[in-house]
Amino acid sequence: MASVKLLQAVSPLIDLVYPPRCPLCGEGLAMQQGLCGTCWGELAIPGEPACATCQRPFGDSGVLDGAICAPCLANPPRHDGVTAGTLYNDAARKLVLSYKHGGRIALAPMLARLMAARLPVLEGDWIAVPVPLHRMRLWKRGFNQSALLAREVARLRGTGLCVDGLTRRKATVPLGGLGKTARARALSGAIAITRARSDTIQGAQILLVDDVVTSGATSDACVRALKQGGASAVRIVCFARVLDEAL
């Protein structure tokens, strides 16, 4: 609370030295948070109706609540739901690149607000756990973008937080362009429960936090590790989800 009051007190000075600007287009803003009205309109927010299992939007197909999409019927997922703040389009891509590769970690609270706002009511106690980075990538980047988002989501939704619940035991090659079998092979044995956090994970309801979910291979490996470690439920929450057919 003290830190919030301090931030409020110095905000006018920050705005004077660093005039607020939209992180996407550079347009002037009234406050040091959010986007301009035009750029907000460029984000694609997932809609309803959606698959009851994976929240894949059905569009205007007239399906009933509780319907399950064809991919989930054919291959039921291990997770207990997916929540995405946005769909991955040009605007979301620019934000992710600025945040993750441009080092603009101040975007984390805004991205997390979109994620937290999309989460359903969470019954019982939940713990936010980020998708882990391998130590070499963490050293090069300087931060785990998923861990920063997990911290903000936990704060906004009042959940627990375990930033080191998972560990990436080996470096993996970039998964983009790989087929399903190759992705699974690359991630085999790569992600595991952190031994010191096994008691925390056992029986817990987990919010698995990531910045972007693309093929789902990495999140699936995390879900598998968490379920094997005794987690009672794992819901994935991300800022952007790649669902080209939903755009």
Tens-place pLDDT, residues 52-76: 888 888 876 667 777 888 888 998 9
Domain that holds residue 231: 45-246
Q: Which long-range contacts (CB under 8 A, 24 or more apart) does 24-30 make?
A: 24/91, 24/94, 24/95
In this structure, the answer to whether residues 56 and 174 fall within a common structural domain is yes
In this structure, the answer to whether residues 72 and 134 fall within a common structural domain is yes
65 in Cβ contact with 49 (< 8 Å): yes
In this structure, the answer to whether residues 115 and 168 fall within a common structural domain is yes
What's the total number of domains in the chain?
A: 2
**Cα–Cα distance measured from residue 122 to residue 157, given in angstroms and rounded to the nearest whole number:** 9
In this structure, the answer to whether residues 5 and 55 fall within a common structural domain is no
In this structure, the answer to whether residues 16 and 73 fall within a common structural domain is no
In this structure, the answer to whether residues 1 and 29 fall within a common structural domain is yes
Q: Got the DSSP string for 152-172?
A: HHHHHHT-EE-TTSEEE-S--
The CATH number that applies at residue 121 is 3.40.50.2020
Sheet of 126-130, strand order: 82-87, 233-241, 205-213, 126-130, 160-161
In this structure, the answer to whether residues 27 and 49 fall within a common structural domain is no
Which pLDDT score, from 0 to 100, does residue 9 have? 44
Q: Which residues pair with 44 in a beta bridge?
A: 87
Per-residue pLDDT of the chain (247 residues; tens, 9 = 90+): 444 444 344 444 444 445 678 888 887 765 556 888 899 999 999 888 888 888 888 876 667 777 888 888 998 999 999 999 999 999 999 999 999 988 889 999 999 999 999 999 999 999 999 999 999 889 999 999 999 999 999 999 999 999 999 999 887 766 666 667 777 777 778 899 999 999 999 999 999 999 999 888 899 999 999 999 999 999 999 999 998 766 5
Residues 6 or more apart whose CB falls under 8 angstroms from that of 156 comprise 112, 113, 116
